[in-house]
Amino acid sequence: QKEVEQNSGPLSVPEGAIASLNCTYSDRGSQSFFWYRQYSGKSPELIMFIYSNGDKEDGRFTAQLNKASQYVSLLIRDSQPSDSATYLCAVMGSGAQKLVFGQGTRLTINP
């Protein structure tokens, strides 16, 4: 079982709709959870982080964390073509020494 799993996609969403990206993790003691966005040929950039169960909103982005289910998600509201990218879920394990990345979900927003 992979430590952090994401659906690799591609996920295709019409412009203006809500894009939902999901991630599961295996280390039940994980404490910190991050979403990075990576445009093709570019380096990852941090979008959001979340530490506590529940929702965290930042503009059009909402991160959701459910530690009991070992599940973290990212919602993008009012999706724009510029949101087309690969989204990487990253989890800080219980040892707090290593950030483990999922394989990424490729998202395409169709005008």
Output the CA–CA distances (angstroms, integers) from residue 11 to 56, 69, 81, in the order listed. Answer: 22, 23, 13
Q: Which of residues 25-84 bind another protein (CB under 8 A)?
A: 31-32, 34, 41-46, 49
Q: Which residue has the tokens 């040892």?
A: 95
Least distance to another protein, CB of residue 62, Å: 17
User: For 59, phi and psi rounded to 5 degrees?
Assistant: 65, -125
Q: Give the shortest CB-12-to-another protein separation in angstroms.
A: 19
**Which stretches of the chain bind another protein, using CB under 8 A?**
4, 6, 8, 31-32, 34, 41-46, 49, 88, 90, 92, 96-104
